[in-house]
Amino acid sequence: MQLTIQNLTKTYDNGVQALKGVSLTIGQGMFGLLGPNGAGKSSLMRTIATLQEADGGTITFDGINVLKEKDKVRRILGYLPQEFGVYPKVNAVTLLDHLAVLKGITNNAERKERVEALLHKTNLYEARKKNLGGYSGGMKQRFGIAQALLADPKLIIVDEPTAGLDPAERNRFHNLLSEIGENTVVILSTHIVEDVRELCTDMAIINQGEVLLQTHPNNALESIKGQIWQKQITRKEIANYKERLNVISDRMIAGKPVIHVWSENQPEDGFEQIEPDLEDVYFYEIFGKRVAV
């Protein structure tokens, strides 16, 4: 199974060019799509999910023309959008049963078996009779995955699934996604670098509607190995360093600012070379590469 996107473009009526010739090849397993808010991730996900039209380009999946054969796509697609509504006064088992009917699972015994299996899979079985309005954020996300898996999809899209979750719920969700990704194509769209680092075997970075990088996370790290330098500074020095050096990120560690700088050689005295992490790759591609020549 493979999803192939070629030269995809989309401009909204307000003139915003959300996708600018996006091309990606996505195989089986977990694929991470990283980018800041407004980068074009949700526009791309909605287009793949047949929820909006593209202006140009092609998308194919397992022999299906995604842009033209929408009904075929929807039969094999599971989609968890960034924001989705639930009926607060309906319990999980009732709503999943109803959604299963809408998905075409009309056999009562088959439908009951599928719904119960998914409630176990998402660790919601004990709360199956509880109204969805009483679910925590993480429980709602796991319910969202359950409904996305009802039709045993070959392609699953999850858009910013862990935003706002506490660490325990985030770990539960990660474990669930990892299990799902073993036999399907799963696209994880997020701005949280840790999600991609922990889950994905392939990734891309997108910004301002353009793909900046597609590679294996380990290859991404190798590409900037030996080029990231760190220094602890004072708050009042941050602006000066940003003017003089290629500062790709600054963060607070133990209440003191620490900057990361991209440079092929030690930029100045006092900088130590560090092993890059995926966050350094992300910031380099988004903020630093434009001047890293």
Evaluate whether 171 touches 178 at the Cβ level (below 8 Å).
Answer: no
* CB distance 27 to 1 below 8 Å: yes
Domain that residue 59 falls in: 2-85+148-215
Paired sense of beta strands 17-27 and 64-65, if any: unpaired
- Are residues 246 and 156 both part of a single domain? no
> Where among 169, 186, 215 does a domain terminate?
215
Number of compact structural domains in the chain:
2
- Would residue 28 count as lying in a domain? yes
pLDDT values of the chain reduced to their tens digit, one per residue, 293 residues: 899 999 999 999 999 999 999 999 999 999 999 998 889 999 999 999 999 999 999 999 999 999 999 999 988 999 888 777 778 899 999 999 999 998 888 899 999 999 999 999 888 999 999 999 998 888 888 888 888 888 889 999 998 887 777 888 888 888 888 888 778 999 998 888 888 888 898 999 999 999 999 999 999 999 999 999 999 999 999 999 999 999 999 988 888 899 999 999 999 999 999 999 999 999 999 886 544 43
Contact 82, 160 (CB under 8 A): yes
Same domain, 179 and 238: no
Residues 169 and 279 in one domain: no
120 in a domain, yes or no?
no
Q: The pTM is what?
A: 0.85
